[in-house]
Structure 1
Amino acid sequence: MTSQTTAKFRRIADDFRTRILSGELRAGDEVPSERALAIEYDVSRPTATKALALLRTEGFLNSVQGSGTFVADLDVHRRPGDRYARAKRAGRIYSGNERAEIVAAEVVEQPPAHVVRGLALPEGTAAIRRHRITWDGDERTEVSTSWFSAQLASTAPRLLSTERIRTGTVAYVEEQTGRTARYARDRMTARSAGKEDAAELGLAKPSTPVLVVEHIVYDGADAPIEFAEAVYPPGRYTAEQRYDLT
């Protein structure tokens, strides 16, 4: 097999892997046949076959004899990067049964010190706080808080509304300000839920371990756009990554 053919089948697999992890394709969704993929990507049928075989080996797809090939039930919660990928492709931050309830949208005159550091704000600067609970069907899957500089209150007023921003807050800020999100950094830690997180996530005990992800989005000038904190209950966050060993 030539390197060009190899690149083609991996490109197809990478495309579908991204669509599955972002939630654009959900468990049970049927994927195109080998013949249809060959036409769509302008490749030979064996190349399309190899792409589907790789995705089955990695656990992303299941084939049912006589019925077709379907997205497997990964039972994962999406990383921020996966959600951004979905927003870019589909124009919405959530998909399927996912929805967010914005329970607070306000200006905080004295934000916590770690938020001030994360947003690189001058001391004594106010910040916008958007606090939400994310659901997947009837299950609470995430409690998160997004922070922005209070200077955005006039140019991006919807940040102070509890109405959902379907394209996502970062995309909205990009649209309103002309800034472009270039990269993001995630920092993951674990701790006990505590009373507030346990109540919002519907956990039986405040001592239940949870995963906490601090997420900062930067523009092209390395200036922070958003500082976010997300808390996930046990079993609801999976980070999937492919990397070369050569």
Structure 2
Amino acid sequence: MPELDRTPPYLQVVQELRRRIVDGELADGDRLPSVRQIAEEWQIAQATAMKALAALRADGLAESVVGVGTVVRSQRTLHRSAADRLDRALRTGKIYPEDEYAVIKAAELAPAPAWVADLLGIEEGAQAIRRHRVTHNANGPVSASVSWFSPDLVESVPSLLMADRIPGGTPSAIEAGTGRRAVNAVEEASAVFRANSAQAEDLGISVGDPVYVGRNVYSDTNGEILEVGESIAPEGRWKIHRTA
């Protein structure tokens, strides 16, 4: 039986089921445990179990299907954050769940913009490694992102400059090449922007459509920055935060 702590029981159930959905353990269309199953597994009242499933429906992660129960509905609503992906990579060795994949649109040396240069400790406009990817699921583009890396990694992590998917993600490639392990992710979010032509092409939307913009920083055990990135997601996708 899962252990309960001082967090309200229904929230603990919600957090655990959210984790399974974000990780891809529960895929789109999978049936969630019934009210009775949840009540028995966590030893809570059925009313509390009902409240947990209602919270997942309110988050846009599930819906009720007559004759079936509550099923996962996340392909059109969920925006997996950079922190989610790092967490999954550290625990499973894979950065993407089974229902998602990335298309690498560019892997190159390019002039670093000012905010990237400041974080990487290089001069603005100096060459840095740039990887541009678009993440897809069965419904099409989910998000697009550009990650930047220090030019010092050119020789030790050559895969960063190859336009091929890295199964364990860029953190695993960096760890394999340098021994430095990404253990922390910090994310920032901005107000909604309007998609420019390049962003619209990536996401399959119209120029001027609203997009969510976020920035992330991965750092190692010494607090040294390994990767900085910027991502966009189309309107209607939600990033789910959870506490341990």
Query: Greater CA deviation, 219-228 or 174-183?
Result: 174-183
Q: Distance in 1 between matches of 2:32 and 2:46?
A: 12
**What amino acid maps onto 2:238 in structure 1?**
T
Structure 1, unmatched stretches of 5+, are none
Q: Distance in 2 between matches of 1:151 and 1:97?
A: 34
Q: What is the deviation of 1:97? A: 3.3
**What amino acid maps onto 1:55 in structure 2?**
A
Give per-residue Cα distances to partners, 1:13-36, cap 9 Å, x unaligned.
Answer: 533321212333222223467898
Q: Distance in 2 between matches of 1:218 and 1:30?
A: 37
After the TM superposition, which residues 29-108 of structure 1 pair with which residues of structure 2 at under 5 Å, given as runs?
29-31=30-32, 46-47=43-44, 52-58=49-55, 59=57, 70-73=71-74, 75-108=77-110
Give per-residue Cα distances to partners, 1:174-213, cap 9 Å, x unaligned.
Answer: 23221122322212223221222222322233x2222211
How does the TM-score come out when normalised to structure 2?
0.78
Q: Distance in 2 between matches of 1:211 and 1:143?
A: 11
Partner residue in 2 for 1:170: 171
**What amino acid maps onto 1:203 in structure 2?**
I
After the TM superposition, which residues 2-17 of structure 1 pair with which residues of structure 2 at under 5 Å, given as runs?
13-17=14-18
Partner residue in 2 for 1:198: 200
Aligned CA distance change for structure 1 residues 198 and 48 (closer, same or farther; 3 Å): same
Partner residue in 1 for 2:223: 222
Q: Distance in 2 between matches of 1:216 and 1:179?
A: 15
**What amino acid maps onto 1:95 in structure 2?**
P
Aligned CA distance change for structure 1 residues 211 and 68 (closer, same or farther; 3 Å): closer
Q: Give the conservation status (yes or no) of the 8 Å contact 1:183–1:217.
A: yes
Query: Greater CA deviation, 66-75 or 153-162?
Result: 66-75
Give per-residue Cα distances to partners, 1:84-109, cap 9 Å, x unaligned.
Answer: 2333344322224322111111122x
The count of corresponding residues between Structure 1 and Structure 2 is 234
Q: Distance in 1 between matches of 2:135 and 2:215?
A: 16
How does the TM-score come out when normalised to structure 1?
0.78
After the TM superposition, which residues 91-240 of structure 1 pair with which residues of structure 2 at under 5 Å, given as runs?
91-108=93-110, 110-122=111-123, 125-189=126-190, 190-205=192-207, 207-235=208-236, 237-240=237-240
Q: Distance in 2 between matches of 1:49 and 1:91?
A: 36
Root-mean-square deviation (Å): 3.2
Aligned CA distance change for structure 1 residues 35 and 85 (closer, same or farther; 3 Å): farther
Q: Identity across aligned pairs (percent)?
A: 34
Report the structure number with the largest CA radius of gyration.
1
Structure 2, unmatched stretches of 5+, are none
SS in structure 2 of the partner of residue 154 of structure 1: helix
Q: What is the deviation of 1:66? A: 7.1
